[in-house]
Amino acid sequence: MLASDFIFLYMRSTENGVLVEHVFRHEYGKMVSYLVNKFGPSHLESIEDAVQEALIKAMQVWGYKEPPKNPAAWLLRVAHNQLIDRLRRDKKMVQSGDGPLLEKSEFEPKEIHLDDTINDSQLKMIFACCHPSLSTEHQIILSLKLIGGFGNVELAKALLKKEAAVAKSYTRAKKKFKEKVPWLQVPVEMGLQSRLFVVLRVIYLLFTEGYSVTAGSQVLKRDICYEAMRLALLLKKNSYCQHPNLEALIALMCFHAARFDARLDTQGEMVDLEHQDRSKYNRELIGIGIRHLENAGTEDKLPSNYHLEAAVSYYHSTAKTFAGTDWGSILKLYDLQLKTQYSPMAALNRIVPFSKVHGAERALTEFKVLEKTSDYGSIGLFYAIKAELLKEIGDRQWRPTLEKAIDLTENQLAKRHLKKKLI
């Protein structure tokens, strides 16, 4: 087990874990980016260890002391000092871009404000992780690990891979990264544009994990979602990164974020789309999303998946009721997405609008086709959707099918939500 995965488990087992996990999620990528920019990618392992040691120290200290007023600054100071100690022990004193390695005493008296210094470092880090000498898989794994603070479990879910394979890929990616990227530098013009599509995919996966948490006791991690949105808006400030796909991705995230408050009830339990209180939808965010979608014109080119998913989310966000949703248009969008870039999960999600347009019986026929073309045996959502359709046509197999969905669902809130349907 890697140290980062140990930290996730430890955080969830301690009383102060919620605060530390919040800071970890929000600041981990910023701290790593800052330190890599200062000391260089050749010290990546030492930087990761220093950040993780700072988080462990926070869990130990904040458990019996009042947390600092600026937890992020506290963590960065501790990580910086840990890193200096480690480099001294290893006799790897390095020259930073601004001069010699800082002494602890020089650093400690200064208050750190990450927002004032981190933007350039994080932008450099994102594009460095997407260096063209790395494979796309390595680019994504590095980015989600170092910028998103993903553990191996989350990465495995996001990339549909086994944890062991993810761990090996990360080790190889780090080795290649250190060889090919001696210092963090923002590429210019064509360099930015050539890496943009991978960067957008990283941001999309980051937001997706925050919006649909695969494991744990939360169904939504707003910190991850907001960080993904912040990164996308940061890209938009650069003229060479402005692209219809970026506009569509921002629109997609705005439409999803607009529904955050309706996804949980007053007791913190999950609420499905059909029963959400639509008066809680953030109309301002929906309006912003619409403007970005309007700016995402592709002229004579086919729309990207970001365009199509944003359009689907637009219909969900603007429908006055669940029954009044324009299911026909949503189905057409899924059909177009599957023609341009087939995805087993998109094919599965398409079943819902298909059933609303053509009925449960025809949707179950579509299910049989899906079972033959893709392996959904370990995906709880597959059995949850199937159970709903079986129940709708009065088939008694809906109950054991739903029980299988519950067994396969790792997120505890989602599991409780499905269990209520058995009552």
Tokens standing for 388?
Answer: 């709903």
Strand runs (DSSP E) across 47-159, as ranges?
95-96, 99-100
Q: Return the residue matching tokens 């932008």.
A: 123
- Whether 77 shows a pLDDT value over 80: the answer reads yes
231-259, pLDDT tens digit by residue?
888 888 777 788 999 999 999 999 999 99
Mean pLDDT of 203-211: 86
- Whether 367 shows a pLDDT value over 80: the answer reads yes
Reported confidence tier of residue 219, pLDDT bands at 50, 70, 90: low
Query: What sign for the dihedral angle of Cα 234, 236, 238, 242?
Result: positive
302-334, pLDDT tens digit by residue?
899 999 999 999 999 999 999 999 999 999 999
Tokens standing for 378?
Answer: 């370990």
Reported confidence tier of residue 65, pLDDT bands at 50, 70, 90: confident
Choice between 104 and 33, residue whose per-residue pLDDT is larger: 33
Mean pLDDT of 116-141: 74
DSSP per residue, 53-119: HHHHHHHHHTTTSPPPSSHHHHHHHHHHHHHHHHHHHTT---EETTEEPPPHHHHTTSPP-HHHHHH
| 184 and 129 Cβ atoms separated by less than 8 Å | no
Where residue 102 falls (left for φ over 0; alpha for ψ -120 to 50; beta otherwise) is beta
Q: Which range, of 64-73, 139-148, 210-219, 351-360, averages the lowest pLDDT?
A: 210-219
Mean pLDDT of 173-200: 76
Q: Cα(184)–Cα(44) distance, rounded to whole angstroms? A: 12
Mapped onto helix, strand or coil, the DSSP state of residue 270 is: strand
Choice between 181 and 351, residue whose per-residue pLDDT is larger: 351
Q: Cα(64)–Cα(278) distance, rounded to whole angstroms? A: 42
pLDDT at site 126: 79
Single pTM value for the model: 0.78
Q: Return the residue matching tokens 């965010």.
A: 285
Q: Cα(141)–Cα(4) distance, rounded to whole angstroms? A: 14
Give me the residues paired with residue 216 across strands.
411
Question: How does the average pLDDT of the chain come out, rounded?
Answer: 82
Give the number of other Cβ atoms within 10 Å of residue 295's Cβ.
Answer: 14
Reported confidence tier of residue 215, pLDDT bands at 50, 70, 90: low
pLDDT at site 309: 96
pLDDT at site 104: 44
Reported confidence tier of residue 99, pLDDT bands at 50, 70, 90: very low
| 112 and 168 Cβ atoms separated by less than 8 Å | no
Q: Return the residue matching tokens 């993810």.
A: 166
